[in-house]
């Protein structure tokens, strides 16, 4: 490598010029040392601060506040290990002198305290060195500050000096010694003895830990979406929930009080995942996602008015060996009717299952999976088979007619009638929803509250079958206000839990969104809520009430500091637990994203 620096009389403030001949050599084209308070480098301005003293007891990572500032800084820390034998010998000599001074000192209490403190410190350090518990080091810290102009440089220096004082540091500006300071901060590792004598301080091995300037984690998954910025150091946070090398599954749990920013964050994730071409299915109980879907060329289905889903539908999907389409469907239908007929006995449910099987048999559907396929007369390929269509499935009406005539089940006919001819007859229609769009939002906002969990279950079942069709395609299912699905009925709670547990096998990830942790933990002493939480590798917690934090703390390992922050988080900030990482993030969006995500009344 050929490079050289032309200079003369640098200490007298002349201009230094650099040139290079190799393309891989990096050198500033212009450096001006004329001003004693700063250096001008290619139109930028630099000045250095020297740390000359520390508080007796320094906090851990006391440099973290400086390292995380939104100011262009460079912190250079030098450690020089001292010879323990020489140090012990010198300490012993000083301890003897200090002991004699204590005996002969005047009666001035301040003098006695100062000498006594040094005497005690010296004995403690010597003991630690003799036992091999510690080593002694020289510590030197330089803080380089950069700015685009002199005025900004002055402001940055003032700000850093203020923070340094509050962190227990005493600093001085390296005026007239800026050249020596910048050499110490560059990879040349050139330190001047005169400066070192001023800033070197002794520190034990245990004290070196406190000089580590980083407390917060970083999260930057290269193939992920931008979540926001790290609240401590403003670094960009990118999250790839499908990265199996870091996360056990792609499931996410989002919780926060009303107005904390959790819905805004959820919609932002939907928007950014859309541009990654990931298929997304959303159940929307509060009509939050309509504007978003329209702007992203997604499809919005208003369940009960313009869209119907037949709960008896059996859909083509990937089955594990030995599985039966009909047996799988019967389990889901038993869950569905246990919600419709609250308090139904196990005996009556077993009889009801027999009647459901007969409804399928009438449609020539049996436990033989082949019964769900038929010759496709539309195909030009000889003997080509296709899966039976939606209008070839039974409906609730078929079961209603049967139980009307059944002695033991007749009492349930009155309840089921409203699903056939009453206000809930949209459950008695053939499925007319197409889910071939990359972004599907099913709006259940107009469904009455008592029926909402039933509607959400039927739609979740439909989405689940769609997710299971292709293991190689990335998919995300969003269950907003998930507590409505799992807070009363054990069957639906178990269905949702199994979905969270197995969706990874089909290339998918589930997102649970809720603002009420007490309802989320209501059933079986929180058994299902806790299981869903434990099966979510990524947890995003927005501002919470203290009661919710107390319910969460036993499930999610929260530090005392995180508990405090969760109560006081500002809107749009979140604590993320992702795999082994934990950090606080500020959610950010572009102006364009904000226009179709924000639903606040202005």
578-589 pLDDT tens trace? 988 899 999 999
Count of CB atoms within 10 A of residue 322's CB? 6
pLDDT band at 259 (very low <50, low <70, confident <90, very high): very high
In angstroms, rounded to a whole number, what is the distance separating the alpha carbons of residues 485 and 397?
25
CA dist 441 and 53 (Å) reads 61
Looking at the domain assignment, is residue 128 inside a domain?
A: yes
How many other C-beta atoms lie within 10 A of the C-beta of residue 352? 23
pTM: 0.76
- Dist. CA 346–CA 339, nearest whole Å: 13
**pLDDT tens-place string over residues 509-561:** 999 999 989 999 999 999 999 999 999 999 999 999 999 999 998 889 888 88
pLDDT at position 357: 97
Among 134, 151, 175, give the residue marking a domain's end.
Answer: 134
Backbone CA torsion sign across 163, 169, 170, 175 = negative
The predicted structure's pLDDT at residue 63? 85
pLDDT at position 598: 86
182 part of a folded domain:
yes
Residue 561 within any structural domain of the chain: yes
Identify the domain containing residue 365 by its residue range: 320-334+346-419
pLDDT (tens digit per residue) in 174-200 = 999 999 999 998 887 889 999 999 999
Question: Which one is predicted more confidently, 601 or 461?
Answer: 461
Average pLDDT, the chain: 88
Residue pointed to by tokens 């202005």: 602
* Any domain includes 312: no
Q: Which residues contact 104 (CB under 8 A, 6 or more apart)?
A: none
Identify whether residues 514 and 565 lie together within a single domain.
Answer: yes
Contact between 306 and 299 (Cβ < 8 Å): no
Asked, for residue 159, whether it belongs to a domain, the answer is yes
**Where residue 377 sits, what CATH number does that domain have?**
1.10.8
Q: Are residues 486 and 591 in the same domain?
A: yes
Picking from 412, 420, 436, the residue whose alpha carbon sits closest to that of residue 311 is 420
Q: How much is the average pLDDT of 340-355?
A: 96
- Does residue 107 lie in a domain region? yes
Please tell me whether residue 589 adopts helix, strand or coil conformation: coil
**359 and 476 in one domain?**
no
Q: Tell me, yes or no, whether 368 lies in a domain.
A: yes
**Same domain membership, residue 443 and residue 562:** yes
pLDDT for position 306: 83
Please tell me the total count of domains within the chain.
5
Residue 381 included in any domain: yes
What does each C-alpha distance from 493 to 250, 311, 429, 455, 481 come to in angstroms? 20, 17, 26, 14, 13
Q: What is the DSSP letter of 21?
A: S
Q: How far apart are CA 457 and CA 154, in angstroms?
A: 62
Q: 209 and 93 share a domain?
A: no
Q: In what order do the strands lie in the sheet with 475-480?
A: 236-239, 225-230, 581-587, 573-578, 538-541, 252-255, 508-514, 475-480, 279-284, 439-443, 299-302
Q: What is the pLDDT of residue 378?
A: 67
Domain identity same for 445 and 523: yes
Average pLDDT over residues 1-17: 35
CATH number at residue 257: 3.40.50.300
* pLDDT, position 319: 87
Cα separation, 455 vs 478, in Å, equals 15
Same domain, 187 and 67: yes
Domain co-membership, 238 together with 378:
no
pLDDT, tens digit, 9 for 90 and up, residues 279-321: 999 999 999 999 999 999 999 999 988 889 999 999 998 888 8
For residue 1, the model assigns a pLDDT of 29
Burial of 203-225, coded b for 16+ CB within 10 Å and e otherwise, reads beeebeebbebeebbebebeebb
Quick one: 447 and 565 in the same domain? Answer: yes
d(CA 251, CA 492): 18
pLDDT per residue over 113-165, tens digit each? 555 566 777 787 788 888 888 888 999 999 999 999 999 999 999 999 999 99
Same domain, 491 and 546: yes
pLDDT for 108 beyond 70: no
Choose one of 68, 102, 134: the last residue of a domain: 134
Percent of the chain surpassing pLDDT 70: 90
| Residues 389 and 449 both lie in one domain | no
State whether 453 and 590 are in the same domain.
Answer: yes
Rounded mean pLDDT of 30-49? Answer: 93
The pLDDT assigned to 19 comes to 45
Res 5 pLDDT > 70: no
Rounded to the nearest 5°, which phi and psi values hold at 586?
Answer: -105, 115
For residue 381, the model assigns a pLDDT of: 58
Of 397, 419, 441, the last residue of a domain is: 419
More confidently predicted of 376 and 437: 437
DSSP secondary structure code for residue 156 in this structure? H
CB 77 within 8 A of CB 141: yes
Residue 71 has pLDDT above 60, yes or no: yes
């Amino acid at each position: 490598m050929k490079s050289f620096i032309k200079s003369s009389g640098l200490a007298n403030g002349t201009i230094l010029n650099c040139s290079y001949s190799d393309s891989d050599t990096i050198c500033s084209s212009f450096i001006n040392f004329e001003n004693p308070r700063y250096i001008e480098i290619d139109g930028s301005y630099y000045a250095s601060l020297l740390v000359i003293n520390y508080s007796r007891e320094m906090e851990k990572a006391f440099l973290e506040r400086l390292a995380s500032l939104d100011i262009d800084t460079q912190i250079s820390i030098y450690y020089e290990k001292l010879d323990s034998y020489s140090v012990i010998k010198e300490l012993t000599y000083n301890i003897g002198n200090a002991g004699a001074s204590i005996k002969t000192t005047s009666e001035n209490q301040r003098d006695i305290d100062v000498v006594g403190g040094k005497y005690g410190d010296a004995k403690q350090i010597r003991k630690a060195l003799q036992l091999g518990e510690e080593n002694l080091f020289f510590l030197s810290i330089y803080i380089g500050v950069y700015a685009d102009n002199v005025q900004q440089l002055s402001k940055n220096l003032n700000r850093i000096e203020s923070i340094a004082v509050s962190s227990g540091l005493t600093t001085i500006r390296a005026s007239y010694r800026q050249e020596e300071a910048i050499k110490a901060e560059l990879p040349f590792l050139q330190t001047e003895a005169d400066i070192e004598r001023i800033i070197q301080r002794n520190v034990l091995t245990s004290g070196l830990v406190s000089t580590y300037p980083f407390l917060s984690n970083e999260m930057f998954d290269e193939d992920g979406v931008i979540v926001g910025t790290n609240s401590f150091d403003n670094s960009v946070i990118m999250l790839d929930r499908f990265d199996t090398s870091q996360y056990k599954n792609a499931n996410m749990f989002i919780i926060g009080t009303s107005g904390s920013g959790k819905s805004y964050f959820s919609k932002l994730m939907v928007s950014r995942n859309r541009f990654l071409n990931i298929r997304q299915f959303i159940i929307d109980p509060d009509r939050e996602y309509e504007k978003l879907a329209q702007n992203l060329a997604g499809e919005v289905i208003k369940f009960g008015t313009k869209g119907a889903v037949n709960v008896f539908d059996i859909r083509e999907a990937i089955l594990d060996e030995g599985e039966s389409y009909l047996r799988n469907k019967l389990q889901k239908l038993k869950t569905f009717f246990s919600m419709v007929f609250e308090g139904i006995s196990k005996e009556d449910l077993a009889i009801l299952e027999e009647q459901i099987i007969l409804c399928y048999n009438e449609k020539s559907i049996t436990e033989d999976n082949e019964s769900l396929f038929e010759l496709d007369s539309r195909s030009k390929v000889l003997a080509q088979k296709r899966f039976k269509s939606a209008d070839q499935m039974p409906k609730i009406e078929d079961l209603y007619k049967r139980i009307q005539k059944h002695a033991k089940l007749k009492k349930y006919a009155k309840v089921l009638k409203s699903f056939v001819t009453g206000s809930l007859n949209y459950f008695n229609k053939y499925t007319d929803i197409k889910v071939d769009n990359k972004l599907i939002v099913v709006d259940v906002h107009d469904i009455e509250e008592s029926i909402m969990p039933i509607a959400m279950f039927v739609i979740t079942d439909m989405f689940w079958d769609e997710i299971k069709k292709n293991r190689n395609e990335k998919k995300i299912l969003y269950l907003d206000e998930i507590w409505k699905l799992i807070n009363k009925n054990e069957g639906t709670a178990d269905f949702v839990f199994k979905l969270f547990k197995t969706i990874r096998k089909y290339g998918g990830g589930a997102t649970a969104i809720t603002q009420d942790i007490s309802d989320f933990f209501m059933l079986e002493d929180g058994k299902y809520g806790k299981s869903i939480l434990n099966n979510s590798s990524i947890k995003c917690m927005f501002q919470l009430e203290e009661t919710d934090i107390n319910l969460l703390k036993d499930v999610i390992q929260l530090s005392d500091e995180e508990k405090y922050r969760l109560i006081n988080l500002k809107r749009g900030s979140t604590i993320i637990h992702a795999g082994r990482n934990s950090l606080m993030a500020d959610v950010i969006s572009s102006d364009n994203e904000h226009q179709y995500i924000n639903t606040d009344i202005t």
